[in-house]
Amino acid sequence: MNASPKTSSAQEAAVAGPAQAATRAIAAYGLPGAAELPTTPLDADVWHRVFTDATRERTIPLLAIAVADAGLPATPDQKVEITRAHEQAMRRCLVLDRALLETSALLDAAGIETRALKGSAGAHLDYPDPSWRAYGDVDLLVGSDQLDDAIAALIAAGGRRTVPEIHPGFDRRFGKGACIVRPDAIQIDVHRTFAAGPFGLTIDLSKLFTDITPFVLGDRMLSALDRESRFLHACYHAALGDSIPRLTALRDVAQLSLANPLELDTALDRARAWRAESVVARAVTLSWDALGLEPSPLSRWAGSYQPDRFEARSLRAYTSDARSYATQTAAGVAAIPGLTAKAAYVRALVFADRGHVAARDGGYTKRIRRGWRALRNTAGPR
């Protein structure tokens, strides 16, 4: 017999509330000001929900470490389940690390300079141990002038580009980068900048190659961004990436700003120069809210920050209900300096290549409709 709606709703509340609180505390585990974890093992239903959420949010390592440290008491079955999931996540990360090493060696041999971004670099540089952070792909930054060569080298090595370039020369001048899938199905995200659209077009990209932090992976020395740019990149990813950011992306923001000393003034000066203080403010606010952290000087600054007109309009392209790649790209016009460059940008969008249109929009008619909607959404309320 089915439970009555009233009963099932009460049962759902009995699971959802404790599961949400535990998930949030686990995502903040080990940070100063994190919420306390339950002091007794979770009920089976609550555990199931927490485990499912941790899998989706890529916080399995934090759950495993909380259980291993006895920060979260667990039953023997729960310990077995989370230990196995942590092992599987780490096996995957090692395979991705090897792909990062192979890719950086391949590009290095072609004379292409790279910077390791996000996953592996963050796991090795920003967490107490790399086993605290799981990730799902490989992210590399290359210079604008070497982007085409990098993509060509990866394709020559057997990779496949998921979405063709919008117009020849667009990527190296205006684009975020390209996604290449290797024959073994590992995804390599080759970045030129941190985001598509306006906030990706105002970054001083040369800074990302001059200020670096080295780290050792296997028997190679790789280069990552310096700490302040890693923090800013974490903010771009959390604030402008998925419409609902993963908890692990929000944890990165908090981890970089709380767990180790961050030159906050340097980071915010850099954000101001990139016209992206609102990106930092949004990322920090989302992080503190989602992880339930105690207020800090940074979170208070974020809560009181007022974006200027450019930032407010640009943010809408990433955060409104109408957010899309088309909206972000259309909003990018405002961030491009000079009429000639603006014209080149718009021309590339209007006369997009057939392969790109087929992959991204499904046809020219749909693309025109989508572009018109994007322009209207970007303009926003007058």
Residues that bind other proteins (CB under 8 A): 61, 64-65, 67-68, 79, 83-84, 86-87, 90-91, 93-95, 97-98, 101, 129-131, 217-220
Q: Looking at the chain, how many residues does it have?
A: 382
Burial class (CB in 10 A: 0-12, 13-18, 19+), 35: middle
Cβ atoms of 58 and 249 within 8 Å: the answer is no
Q: At closest approach, how far in Å is the CB of 61 from other proteins?
A: 8
Return the SS3 of 189. Answer: strand
Closer Cβ to other proteins, 93 or 357, answer by number? 93
CB atoms within 10 A of CB 216: 9
Which of 158, 164, 165, 147 is closest to 107 using CA atoms?
147
The CA-based angle 143-146-151, given to 5 degrees, is 110
**CA-to-CA distance for 257 and 214, rounded, in angstroms?**
19
Identify which of 186, 171, 197 has the alpha carbon closest to the alpha carbon of residue 137.
Answer: 186
Between 133 and 370, whose beta carbon lies closer to other proteins? Answer: 133
Nearest residue (CB) to other proteins, 98 versus 360:
98
| Residue 192 identity | R
Closest distance of CB 100 from other proteins, Å: 10
Distance, CA of 292 to CA of 27 (rounded, Å): 9
18/130 with CB nearer other proteins = 130
> What is the sign of the dihedral through the CA atoms of 9, 14, 19 and 20?
positive
Query: CB-wise, 139 or 228, nearer to other proteins?
Result: 139
Question: What are the residues facing 12 on neighbouring strands?
Answer: none
Pairing verdict, β 177-181 and 187-191: antiparallel
Q: Which is nearer to other proteins, 100 or 234 (CB)?
A: 100
How far apart are alpha carbons 67 and 65 in whole angstroms? 5
Sign of the C-alpha dihedral computed for residues 69, 71, 74 and 77 taken in this order: negative
